[in-house]
A and B are shown apart, each in its own frame.
Chain A
Amino acid sequence: MSKAPKSSGGVNRRQFLADTAKAACGVGAVGLGISLYADDAKALPATALRPPGAGPESHFLSACVRCGLCVRDCPYDTLRLAKLGERVTVGTPYFVAREVPCEMCDDIPCVPACPTGALDHALTDINKARMGLAVLIDHETCLNFLGLRCDVCYRVCPVIDKAITLEQHANLRTGKHAMFIPVVHSEHCTGCGKCERSCVLEEAAIKVLPHRLAKGALGAHYRLGWEEKAKAGHELVPGIIDLPDRMPEVVR
C-alpha cells in the first residue's frame, strides 16, 4: 500500500468490484432464504383463522402490514398479532376459534380499521364473511351422532338454521330413536368459530377449518345430471339403461 499511492486507482476499482460482487452474492443468498421463507409462510396452520374480509393467504401476506389496528378495534379481543416464534407469519392478525371466536359484530369494526385493505372494505355484511368453514369432523364422538340431544353447536350458531341445520336420521343402533345430525352448509357458514368454541367435548368434534382444507372441488367439467335435466326440461340421454343398485351390507 505504502509504495504507490498514486496508482491505487486500479486497485481500488478492482477492490470495489470485488466488494460489490461479494455483497451481491451474500445478499442474493439471503434473498433466496427470505423468498423460500415467504413461500413457507403461506402455509397457515389449520387452527389459525384470519379476520373477516381477509383474502386467501397468498394475497393477505402481500396486503397486511401487520399494524394491529384490526386487533385494537375488535371489541371482544378475538384477534391477536402473531408473535415471533408462533407458527403464524410474524405480526399478522389471527384468531383461534376454540379460544376466542369471532362474535360477528354487525358493524364489523375490524374491517374499516384496516388501513391497507388487507381486510376488504367491500365487506359490510358480516354474514358474507368467510373466515373458514365449520366441519363436523368427528362422527365418533359428537354427542348427537351418539344419539343424544346435545345440539350446542347448532344453538350457538349466529346463522342458525342456515349455516347449521339438524337433520333427522334413524338411529340404527337402537332401532327406534332418531338422531339429529348437525350439518354445516358452506353457502351460509361464516367460519366465526362459535360452534367449535362451544362444543362440549374435551376436544371439539366440530372444527372451523380454512376453506382450502374444508372444501373439495368438483372438476370444472362436471355436470349434475339432475340439474341439467331440470334446466333442459327433459332427459338429456333418453332411455338410459338403469343399472342394478347395490345396497350397503347394513341395510341388507
Chain B
Amino acid sequence: MSADTKKANRPGTEAITEKGWLSAHKWLLLRRLAQATFVLLFLIGPLTGFWIVKGNMASSLTLDILPLTDPFILIQSFVAGHVLEMTAMVGAAIVTIAYLLLGGRSYCSWACPINPITDLAHWLRQRLGIKGGMQISRQTRYWVMAMVLASSALTGAIAWELINPITILHRGIIFGVGLAWTVVLAIFLFDLFVSRRGWCSHLCPVGAFYSIIAIPSVLRVSAQNRAVCNDCMDCYAVCPEPHVISPALKGEAKNIGPVIQSPNCTNCGRCIDVCAPMVFTFTNRFNTKVSESPSRVMEAA
C-alpha cells in the first residue's frame, strides 16, 4: 500500500475534503478544550493564588459555594460503611443530575483526564498498524465495577481509589506528581500494544458506572440522516465503542429509531466529525425524527 492510499484510507479524510479540517475536528477540539479546562481550572488556584476551584475531581468546591463530588467514589465510601456529610451528598447529586442530562459517559470523553491518553494510544495504534492483541469482553468493566463495590464493602476502604488512574493522574497534576506517571504509562502501553481500546472500553469501572447513569440520560447522538450514509465505515473506525452505532445507523429495516440508545456511547461526537455526508448530530433522546432520504428523492427525480 502506498503512503498516498494509506492516507486516503485514514478515517475522516473524506470529511476533511468536504467540510474542511476545522469542522471535521469540531467536537474533538471542543473536547480537548474541555479536558484541558478541567485540569487548568484546578491549577489556577495553586499557581496564582486566585481560587476558582479547589480540590480535585474526587470532590471540589467552586467559587467557595458549589460542591461537586464523584458519585462513584461516594457510593464506595457508603458501602465501606461511612456516614457521609451533607456537602458530599449534595455534590454527588449535582454531578449525577448533570450527567443524567448531558449523557453519563460524557464524563469519559469530556472530563476524564485519562481519555486523551487512551485516545492517543488508539491513534498511534492505528498509525503504526498494530493489529490483534488481547480480546477482552466489553462486559468485563461491569464485573470490575461489581468487584470494586464488593471489595469496598469487605475491606471497609474506598477500594478503587487505591489504584484509580483517573484521580491519581488528576490529583498528580494538581497536587504533585510522584509516581503518577507510571500508571498513565502503563495504561498507554496497554492500550497501544496489548488491547485495542482496552482500558476505557473494556475495563474501567468508572466508565461502567457512568454507563449506568447513561441508560436514561437525555443528550444523545442520533443518526438522523442515516438515509445518506455511504457506508464508508469511518464512524466505526473512530468510535471508541463501535458496537453502539449499528442499531441506530442500520436500524431502519428493523424499525429501530436513529438515536444511539446504548449507554456505552461516550458522546464524544467523533462520528459527527468524521462523517462526510453529515449523518450524525447531537440531539435529545426523545427526538427520533429521521430526515427524508435525499437519495430516494434523487432516484425518483
Selected contact of B61 from candidates A69, A86, A91, CB within 8 Å:
A69
Given A115-B67, A117-B85, decide whether A91 and B59 contact each other with a Cβ distance below 8 A.
Answer: no
Chain A interface bracket (under 10, 10 to 19, 20 to 34, 35 or more):
35 or more
Give the chain B neighbours of A31 by CB distance below 8 A. Answer: 147-148, 150-151
Q: Across the interface, which residues of B come within 8 angstroms of A65, CB to CB?
A: 58-59, 69-70, 73-74, 77, 88, 158, 161
- CB neighbours (8 Å) of A115 from chain B are 59, 61, 67, 69, 85, 87-88, 91
The reply on A159 being an interface residue by CB < 8 A is no
Complex contact B177–A83 (CB within 8 A) = yes
In the complex, the answer to whether A84 meets B183 with C-beta atoms within 8 Å is yes
Known: A39-B155, A91-B161. A114 touches B171 (CB 8 A): no
Judge whether A34 and B151 touch: CB under 8 Å: yes
Interface flags for A32-67 (1: CB within 8 Å of B; 0: not) read 001101110110000000000000001101111111
Task: Give the Cβ gap from A235 to chain B, nearest Cβ, in Å.
Answer: 47
Q: Does A201 contact B (CB under 8 A)?
A: no
Task: Report which A residues bind B (CB closer than 8 A).
Answer: 19-20, 22-24, 26-28, 30-31, 34-35, 37-39, 41-42, 58-59, 61-69, 71-73, 80-81, 83-86, 89-91, 113-118, 121
B157 touches A41 (CB 8 A): yes
**Contact across chains for B179 and A89 when beta carbons are under 8 A apart:** no
Interface contact A34-B55, CB-CB below 8 Å = no
A175 to chain B, nearest CB (A): 55
- Among residues of A, the one whose C-beta sits closest to the C-beta of B135 is A19
A34: which of B143, B162, B167 is its contact (CB, 8 Å)? B162
**Contact across chains for B81 and A62 when beta carbons are under 8 A apart:** yes
What 0/1 pattern do residues 160 to 191 of B give for CB contact below 8 A with A? Answer: 11110001100110111111101100000000
A41 touching B162 in the complex, CB below 8 Å, given contacts A23-B137, A115-B88: yes
CA of A113 to CA of B59, assembled, Å: 11
Report chain A residues within 8 Å CB of B154: 35
B82 A63 Cβ-Cβ under 8 A: yes
Cβ–Cβ < 8 Å partners of B157 in chain A: 38, 41-42, 58, 61-62
Least CB distance from A69 to B in Å reads 5
Chain B residue at minimum C-beta to C-beta distance from A62:
B80
- Interface centre among B70, B144, B159, B175, by most chain A C-beta atoms within 10 angstroms, is B175
Chain A nearest CB, measured from B186 CB (Å): 12
- Further contacts, 18 of them, CB under 8 A, given A68-B175, A85-B179: A20-B139, A23-B140, A31-B150, A37-B162, A38-B157, A63-B82, A64-B158, A67-B69, A68-B56, A68-B171, A72-B55, A83-B177, A83-B178, A84-B180, A90-B168, A91-B58, A114-B85, A117-B88
CA distance in complex: A72, B140 (Å) = 37
* Residue B45 is within 8 A (CB to CB) of chain A in the complex: yes
Q: A38-B159, A68-B174, A91-B168 given as contacts; is B77 within 8 A of A62 (CB)?
A: yes
Give which listed residue, B61, B84, B155, B183, contacts A35 with CB less than 8 A.
Answer: B155
Select from chain B the residue with minimum beta-carbon distance to A66. Answer: B58
**Would you give the shortest CB distance from B103 to chain A, in whole angstroms?**
24
B88/A27 in contact, CB under 8 A: no
What is the CA–CA distance of A58 and B154 in the complex, to the nearest angstrom? 12
- In the bound complex, residues from chain A placing their C-beta under 8 Å from that of B136 are 23
Among B74, B85, B160, find the residue whose CB has the most chain A CB atoms closer than 10 A: B85
Q: A80-B175, A115-B88 are in contact. Are A91 and B167 (CB under 8 A)?
A: yes
- Is B83 in contact with chain A by the CB < 8 A criterion? yes
Within 8 A of A (CB), among B255-292: none
Assembled-state Cα–Cα distance A33/B162 (Å)? 11
| Cβ of A54 to closest chain B Cβ, rounded Å | 12
Chain A residue contacts of B143, Cβ below 8 A: 23-24, 27
Within the complex, the shortest CB–CB distance from A142 to chain B, in Å, comes to 35
Cβ-based interface call for B54 (8 A) = yes
By a CB distance below 8 angstroms, the chain B residues around A41 are 157, 162
Q: Given that A23-B140, A27-B144 are contacting pairs, would A84 and B59 also be in contact in the complex, using a CB cutoff of 8 Å?
A: no
**Could you say which residues of chain A place their CB within 8 Å of the CB of B81?**
59, 62
- Cα–Cα, bound, A121→B160 (Å): 25
Q: How far is the CA of A165 from the CA of B183 in the complex (A)?
A: 49
Whether a CB of chain A sits under 8 angstroms from the CB of B60 is: yes
Nearest CB to that of B136 among chain A residues? A23
How far is B151's CA from A35's CA once the two chains are assembled, in angstroms?
A: 6
With A31-B150, A91-B168, A91-B171 as known contacts, state yes or no: A63 contacts B77, CB within 8 Å.
yes
Smallest distance from the beta carbon of A86 to chain B beta carbons, Å?
7
User: Which residues of A sit under 8 angstroms from B247, Cβ to Cβ?
Assistant: none
Question: CB of B156 within 8 A of chain A?
Answer: yes
- Asked if B82 contacts A116 (CB within 8 A), the reply is yes
Known: A65-B77, A91-B171. A30 touches B85 (CB 8 A): no
Considering only residues 42-76 of chain B, those with a C-beta below 8 Å from chain A are: 45, 51, 54-56, 58-61, 67, 69-70, 73-74
| CB nearest to A63 among chain B residues | B82
User: CA of A83 to CA of B181 in the docked complex: distance in angstroms?
Assistant: 11
Chain B residues lying within 8 Å of A91, measured Cβ to Cβ, are: 58, 161, 167-168, 171
Question: Residues of B contacting A121 with CB < 8 Å?
Answer: 85
Residues of A within 8 A of B182 (CB): 84
